[in-house]
Structure 1
Amino acid sequence: MTEKRERATFAGGCFWCMVKPFDEQPGIYQVESGYTGGHKPNPTYEEVCTDTTGHKEAVQITFDPDIFPYEKLLQLFWQQIDPTDAGGQFADRGDSYKTAIFYHSDSQKRMAEESKKELEEQNVFNAPIMTEILPAKTFYRAEEYHQDYYKKNSAHYERYRFGSGRGPFLNHYWGEEDER
């Protein structure tokens, strides 16, 4: 059987919190933290945080669609964010922390739009879904210290995830996060 490799790119607020849910899933080959959607080439973390580059913190996932289909990635993505927050995510505010799905093909765009519509129809949230669906742009890999942050700094990662409000929010809506 031949390996297939496709890319998916999601902005879900702080990229530290977007790696772990996708990492080590069957059919996921790589999850990288980085920046996309902006106008400045090769932005740094410090530049992106100023909200002047147009970039969002994002993860780019390399996956085998036969093992872990794009629709399943979308479902997992929606369960990691507050899609109704137009100003950022949890404690992180500003354009660089806004949510978005960056599609790499017409079929990804169609599936993303369908999944957003399904989420809206489920009435899980009491507000409109604000997550944008945008064409993929150049993805710039973040600095090494941001890669696999949940593994390198697990105690800080867990405190941040809970303290930012992400953990309690996800537990409330999806019942998957324990409240330490």
Structure 2
Amino acid sequence: MPRAEGRLRVIGGQWRSRVVEFDPASGVRPTPDRVRQTLFDWLAPYIDGARCLDLFAGSGALGIEALSRGAASCCFVEQGRKQAGAIRTALLLLKAQHAEVIELDAEFYLAQTWHRFDLVFLDPPYGKGLLERVLPELPKALAPHNRIYLEWPAGTAPQLPPGFELLREKKAGQVCFGLATYHHPAEK
């Protein structure tokens, strides 16, 4: 059954089957259900108590899914005012705690943050080179033993900077996605 325009379903955890609304007119393309299911199967050993960053939050689907499955906190960074408002509304309706929505450009956020995250979700708008621009800035925001979700259009795999390791990769239709980690120099 196709997803209703501007709505998505939480697929697991305490908010399973709850519906979250977003602004489809803004060009947001939420991560498909089957991709989210695979991702959170991969993340199952790491999600409980994790500090998460949903850097190009869009609909907020990935961060909300993480909170639903036991993440300790999530910071949603979304530059679009309507989308940030929709995420705030969804978090209020879900009575989510330890969640923050920040209306900022993702690159600017990374440049000024002092927080360290265990899990980072990177699903930027396609065709703008954003993944390649934020990856070199990401290590300072990563806790040791981190996991990073990456999503990109088929045929345009990102170049990972030194220190990053792609752990898993999969394709679903026209979407490629993977799970990576960054090894801090002290970890080697």
Q: If the length of structure 1 is used for normalisation, what is the TM-score?
A: 0.29
Larger RCO (CA under 8 A, 6+ residues apart):
1
Q: If the length of structure 2 is used for normalisation, what is the TM-score?
A: 0.28
